[in-house]
């Protein structure tokens, strides 16, 4: 599932592509898991101009005229495809067709990607808005630190890959109890969260200009099958957590 770096890059590039375009038609191809009906989407969006595209946590938001907001969640395998004249992509969920003959398709082979009119954000704080004071309050929980970072109702935008990268960078074991982590490490963690996410965003944006789909994993140092050692030469270890795989090294201190 795309996390802040990829979603941030998608939003920047989609804004360049879409700003000012006027929706001619909304075509729902597979709406089984959508919260709004095809009729509701058409009524709300057709004739409206796109004013802005931005990120919210792991989701995208498209701001239309007349204060209409469309939320998009890519889930695990969702993708965007910009097209001219006609969309030939399989597994399309919904299309936005514009008056200039271009369009944007949301596709997903697993059919889980979704759009939602006027979505409400989860209660969690966006990861890039975190500071030491807020993070210290969050760390009062007894849960494992990785679980806290992944909980979108607590912190929005971090997923499995970047939680491993962040925790390795701060040398905190993913199995540490959040409320056992000392203050100096919480301060470091607050800074590292923003640093890791922003660094990855800029690397992706620079190396893949115009990118609006597919996650980029090239810059992951720990959460990767391509490497067996960390940048410091320590073996990369793995542990299963339900359907997720955690990557870490024995350099990371366990706080319990």
pLDDT in tens, 157-166: 999 999 999 9
Strands (E), 74-226: 78-84, 92-98, 102-108, 114-117, 125-126, 155-156
131 band by pLDDT with thresholds 50, 70 and 90: very high
pLDDT in tens, 189-220: 999 999 999 999 999 999 999 999 999 999 99
Residues making up the chain, counted from first to last: 256
pLDDT for the residue numbered 8: 98
DSSP tally for the chain: helices H, then strands E? 6, 12
pLDDT in tens, 6-39: 999 999 999 999 999 999 999 999 999 999 999 9
Give which of 153, 247, 139, 245 is closest to 189, Cα–Cα. Answer: 139
For the chain, how long is the longest CA-to-CA vector? 59
Mean pLDDT of the chain, nearest integer: 97
**Tokens coding 184:** 């100096």
Strands 125-126 and 155-156: parallel
Domains along the chain with CATH numbers: 4-117 (3.20.190.10), 125-248 (1.10.8.50)
133: Cβ contacts below 8 Å, ≥ 6 apart: none
Rounded Cα distance between 154 and 150, Å, is: 8
User: What 3-state DSSP class applies to 244?
Assistant: strand
pLDDT for the residue numbered 155: 98
Residue 116 contacts residue 41 (beta carbons within 8 Å): no
DSSP string for residues in 116-147: EES----SSEEGGG--HHHHHHHTTS-SBHHH
User: What 3-state DSSP class applies to 34?
Assistant: coil
Mean pLDDT of 114-132: 96
73 band by pLDDT with thresholds 50, 70 and 90: very high
């Amino acid at each position: 599932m795309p996390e802040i770096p990829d979603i941030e890059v998608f939003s920047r590039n989609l804004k360049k592509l879409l700003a000012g375009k006027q929706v001619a038609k909304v075509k729902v191809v597979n709406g089984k898991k959508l919260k709004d009906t095809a009729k509701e989407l058409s009524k709300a969006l057709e004739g409206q101009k796109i004013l802005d595209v931005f990120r919210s946590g792991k989701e995208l938001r498209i701001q239309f005229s007349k204060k209409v907001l469309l939320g998009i969640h890519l889930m695990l395998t969702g993708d965007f495809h910009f097209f001219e004249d006609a969309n030939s992509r399989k597994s399309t969920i919904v299309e936005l067709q514009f008056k200039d003959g271009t369009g944007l398709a949301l596709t997903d082979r697993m059919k889980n990607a979704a759009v939602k009119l006027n979505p409400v954000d989860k209660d969690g704080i966006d990861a890039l808005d975190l500071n030491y004071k807020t993070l210290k309050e969050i760390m009062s929980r007894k849960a494992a630190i990785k679980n806290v970072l992944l909980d979108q109702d607590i912190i929005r935008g971090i997923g499995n890959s970047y939680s491993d990268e962040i925790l390795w960078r701060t040398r905190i074991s993913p199995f540490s109890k959040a409320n056992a982590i000392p203050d100096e490490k919480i301060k470091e963690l607050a800074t590292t969260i923003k640093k890791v996410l922003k660094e990855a965003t800029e690397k992706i944006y620079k190396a893949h200009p115009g990118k609006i789909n597919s996650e980029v994993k090239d810059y992951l140092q720990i959460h990767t099958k391509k490497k067996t050692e960390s940048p410091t030469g320590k073996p990369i270890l793995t542990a299963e957590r339900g359907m997720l795989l955690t990557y870490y090294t024995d350099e990371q201190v366990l706080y319990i």
